[in-house]
Amino acid sequence: MNSEELKDIYRRNKYYSDTFLGYPVAKDFSYSDFAPFLDICINNVGDPENKSTLAIDTKDIELKCISFFAEMLSTNMQDVWGYITNGGTEGNLYALYLARESFPNAMVYYSESTHYSVKKNLHLLNIPNIVIRAQDNGEMDYDDLEQTIALRRDKPAVFFLNIGTTMTEAVDKISEIKRIIKKYAIKDYFIHCDAAFLGTIAPYVTPKPQFDFAEGIDSIAISGHKFIGSPIPCGTVLVKRKHRDRIANSVSYVGTMDTTITGSRNGLTPLFIWDFIQKHGHEGLRLRVEAAQKVAAYTENELKKLGLNAWRNNQALTVVFPKPSKALCTKYQLASEDDIAHIICIPGITTQDIDNFILDLKAEITSITVNAEAVFA
């Protein structure tokens, strides 16, 4: 590939990176200091807690990252185990895999607002499942779940919960799940939380949503490239250690335990995550959340000034509003579903970015109004 080709590809992606508003991918990062590592094949093969005969790895840094997430999620490394994944989908796949191995005859319950990849994961694992209706705000319909559970109370249950749905950032309530578990005396169950976006946000929101290991969950998946930020998609999955132990086995070829989904794993992304953790820590994450919430509140108010039905779930960074034209959705890369679209106020999006969008949206609304008046004049 020649230099001009590379420059063109970079310019194209830099432009689209600067203008998108509809997806949860942080923009305000720079990992240029790690460029020398691009000349080394770093491979965190196998279990992060076990060294391999292939010594080109960053497993020591990976464990530091996992320890930070464990503390953030109200637990410790004695009770849980985890690793750095290539994103939320792998984390969810791993958790569902452990759930299946723990309860082979279980039924999985998840809402219709769940990320599209989960259906694929369930198909890959061949796990029976039932889709539960969602409320208007994207949260699971607990009445529908309860009625469904009542007909199958004799089967083990896997509850796949959304801690921030894709379109509306809705949070499924663990308290409701526990109420249903108690009411129907379900003895064998597994609770997984898909916290791809909110995993590094919710711990710093007041009041804090109930979603972590203090609430009795079995596993959780979080993305690293969404709120933290990374040039390479990544994430983390944490599970109760007893579940991980059930599937562990030793592989002589690489001299380590095989406990992850993929054999070879990215050794760069733990460096990115740990760099962020060292620079920000818990207090930095709290300030990061507060700053993003202010931009989200500003966005919601500016959209309402245009007379639009803009709204967001409790202190969410996702602002939902009526879907604009295809041209605007394309220009600002807005995710949409049916008649709604959203802006996600991730770090790197400023009020100036919102103002630019509002100007375009206002012009579009004005044009539609003028044309309508001309037709009925």
Quick one: DSSP state of residue 346? -
pLDDT of residue 371: 59
How many C-beta atoms lie closer than 10 Å to residue 41's C-beta? 10
**pLDDT higher than 80, residue 372:** no
Average pLDDT over residues 357-367: 93
Which segment of 113-117, 218-222, 229-233, 250-254 scores lowest on mean pLDDT?
A: 250-254
Average pLDDT, the chain: 95
What are the backbone dihedrals phi and psi of residue 107, each rounded to the nearest 5 degrees, phi first?
A: -110, 135
Beta carbons of 345 and 310 less than 8 angstroms apart? no
Beta carbons of 24 and 346 less than 8 angstroms apart? yes
**All domains of the chain in start order, with CATH:** 3-28+282-367 (3.90.1150.10), 32-278 (3.40.640.10)
What are the backbone dihedrals phi and psi of residue 283, each rounded to the nearest 5 degrees, phi first?
A: -65, -40
Give exposure, 335-372, as e/b (b: 16+ Cβ within 10 Å): beeeeebbbbbbbbbeeebbeebbebbeeeeeeeeeee
List the Cα angle 373/375/377 in 5-degree steps: 60
* Per-residue model confidence as pLDDT tens digits over 138-188: 999 999 999 999 999 999 999 999 999 999 999 999 999 999 999 999 999
Residue 237, classed as helix, strand or coil, is strand
Q: Quick one: pLDDT band at residue 1, thresholds 50, 70, 90? A: confident
pLDDT of residue 377: 53
* Per-residue model confidence as pLDDT tens digits over 249-259: 766 556 688 89
Pairwise CA distance, residues 24 & 346, whole Å: 6
* Per-residue model confidence as pLDDT tens digits over 198-216: 999 999 998 899 999 999 9
pLDDT of residue 263: 87
Q: What is the DSSP string of 248-259?
A: -EEETTTTEEE-
- The answer to pTM > 0.85 is yes
Residue 184, classified by CB atoms within 10 Å of its CB into exposed (0-12), middle (13-18) or buried (19+), is: middle
Residue carrying the six token digits 């004799």: 154
Helix axes 116-125, 88-102, angle to 10 degrees: 40
| Tokens coding 35 | 């460029």
| Tokens coding 138 | 């994207």
Q: Are strands 335-337 and 340-344 parallel, antiparallel or unpaired?
A: antiparallel
Q: Which pairs count as long-range contacts for 273-276, CB under 8 Å and 24+ apart, including other chains?
A: 273/65, 273/84, 273/224, 273/228, 273/230, 273/234, 273/236, 274/61, 274/64, 274/65, 275/31, 275/33, 275/34, 276/29, 276/228, 276/229
Quick one: what percent of the chain has pLDDT higher than 90? 91
